[in-house]
Amino acid sequence: MSMLFSPYRLGPLELTNRIAIAPMCQYSADEGLATDWHMIHLGHLALSGAALLIIEATAVTPEGRITPDDLGLWSDAHLEALKPVIAAMRRHSPIKIGIQLAHAGRKASSNVPWEGGANIHPDQPRGWQTVAPSSVPHAEGESVPLALDHEGLQRIKQGFVDAALRAQQLGLDAIELHGAHRYLLHQFLSPLANRREDDYGGSLENRMRFPLEVCEAVRAAVPDLCVGMRISATDWVEGGWDVEQSVRLSHELEKRGCHFIHVSSGGVSPLQKIPVGAGYQIVFAERIKRETGVPTIGVGLITEPQQAEHVLQSGQADMVALARAMLYDPRWPWHAAAELGAQVAAPPQYWRSQPRQYKTLFGETRLGQR
């Protein structure tokens, strides 16, 4: 029996299989408001057969957007814009829906990738002043962020809480806090970005303090929702954040009721040297799972069904998440189920697409339907 297509539980969340669709920024919002692109994009991914879809990095404050075109959830207007998208997915798919709540910190105020992705200085059109743990730019020539004071920290933490409450109001099933990929919570964790000399900088305990406070506050605000965190397990830079510190962080997150760790890597420094290859980040998920027992989601160039199955069968992770592979093949779970001899959920409008050689792919009870 395929482990990839076996049920799994993330805290309070029951999942029909172990495939998640990782959050993927679309840079297609209008002042943070969801648009018809989100209806099309998320709608077709909801029909994929995966058990969990996590909506893209969604800013909790206006200055927390990566680009001016990022999705946001900092007001009730943003909630209302997402409502019809969520409702449409619910009508036509059993997929569980999560959302990644994020603040970009010093990597905010950037152009969209297809326009180069460069930093937009505050005095340029569509640019704004960024904030960060310390007044240290990501790279030479980029705008210098303002170091957050106590009031700024509390404002952003409240932004995460308010966005989590709106996610609950939308009826979403899970929240993923973005603590990876060079964004604000990761910036607090990494000594490469965090040069503070107060209670939020210096020692590992201090650098973990703000991300842990955000996790605690969100868990308290939405105690019945599944809440996890995506982390960069290593900066891939000497003297930066590493897997040993990630294990410590995972232990502390577990104490605060975190239901899963979504394990990625890199992003905080242009000096990073990443040995990219198939499943190159799975070793980090495996170590965190082994040393903490916290459910882990493995990600990173997982493209083949047998590869995903091996990750689970060998105990390297509890779930796998796909991103670009899912964009390239939005029916990846269908094809994986066919290859592994499993079944997958599909809408009745598509049942007739079932190839004859996979006659039970969509379930025995659906045979003979016209």
Q: Is the pLDDT of residue 369 over 70?
A: no
Name the 3-class secondary structure at 52: strand
Q: Identify the pLDDT of residue 363.
A: 75
Q: Identify the pLDDT of residue 370.
A: 32
Q: Name the active-site residue from 27, 183, 200, 358.
A: 183
Q: How many CB atoms lie within 10 A of CB 301?
A: 17
Q: Identify the pLDDT of residue 301.
A: 86
Cα separation, 179 vs 211, whole angstroms: 7
Least confident of 99-113, 115-129, 275-289: 275-289
Q: Is the pLDDT of residue 252 over 70?
A: yes
Question: What is the per-residue pLDDT across 58-103, written as a single tens digit (0 to 9) for each?
Answer: 999 999 999 999 999 999 999 999 999 999 999 999 999 999 999 9
Cα separation, 355 vs 62, whole angstroms: 47
Q: How many CA atoms lie within 13 A of 108 on its CB side?
A: 32
Cα separation, 199 vs 359, whole angstroms: 61
Q: Is the pLDDT of residue 184 over 70?
A: yes
Average pLDDT over residues 347-365: 86
Spatial CA neighbour of 48 closest among 24, 74, 13: 24
Where residue 336 falls among pLDDT bands split at 50, 70, 90? very high
5, two tokens: 């297509």
Q: Identify the pLDDT of residue 209.
A: 98
Average pLDDT over residues 260-282: 84
Question: What is the per-residue pLDDT across 92-118, written as a single tens digit (0 to 9) for each?
Answer: 999 999 999 999 999 999 999 999 999
DSSP letters, 317-359, are: -SEEEESHHHHH-TTHHHHHHHHHT------GGGGGG--GGGT
351, two tokens: 């049942």
Q: Identify the pLDDT of residue 319.
A: 98
Cα separation, 80 vs 241, whole angstroms: 38
Q: Identify the pLDDT of residue 367.
A: 38
Where residue 273 falls among pLDDT bands split at 50, 70, 90? confident
- Helical H segments across 56-203, by residue range: 76-92, 150-169, 184-189
57, two tokens: 């990095």
Question: What is the per-residue pLDDT across 151-174, written as a single tens digit (0 to 9) for each?
Answer: 999 999 999 999 999 999 999 999
Q: How many CA atoms lie within 13 A of 303 on its CB side?
A: 9
Q: Is the pLDDT of residue 320 over 60?
A: yes
* Catalytic-residue membership of 200: no
Q: Identify the pLDDT of residue 368.
A: 37
The highest-level CATH class for domain 8-366 is alpha beta
Average pLDDT over residues 220-238: 95
Q: Running DSSP on this structure, what letter comes out for residue 144?
A: P
Q: Are 33 and 77 in contact (CB under 8 A)?
A: yes
Spatial CA neighbour of 20 closest among 222, 225, 176: 176
Q: Is the pLDDT of residue 342 over 90?
A: yes
Name the 3-class secondary structure at 174: strand
291, two tokens: 């040393």
Cα separation, 205 vs 189, whole angstroms: 9
Where residue 222 falls among pLDDT bands split at 50, 70, 90? very high
Angle 305-313/332-340 helices, nearest 10 degrees? 70
Q: Identify the pLDDT of residue 256.
A: 96
Spatial CA neighbour of 302 closest among 53, 48, 19: 19
Looking at every residue in the chain, the average pLDDT score rounds to 95
Spatial CA neighbour of 1 closest among 337, 307, 331, 334: 337
**Radius of gyration (Cα) for the chain, nearest Å?**
20
Where residue 270 falls among pLDDT bands split at 50, 70, 90? confident
Spatial CA neighbour of 176 closest among 159, 158, 160, 162: 160
SS (H, E, C) 86-141: HHHHHHHCCCEEEEEEECCHHHCCECCHHHCCCECCCCCCCCCCCEECCCCCCCCC
Q: Is the pLDDT of residue 255 over 80?
A: yes
Q: How many CB atoms lie within 10 A of CB 208?
A: 21
Average pLDDT over residues 267-287: 83
DSSP bridge pairs for 58: 101
Average pLDDT over residues 28-44: 98
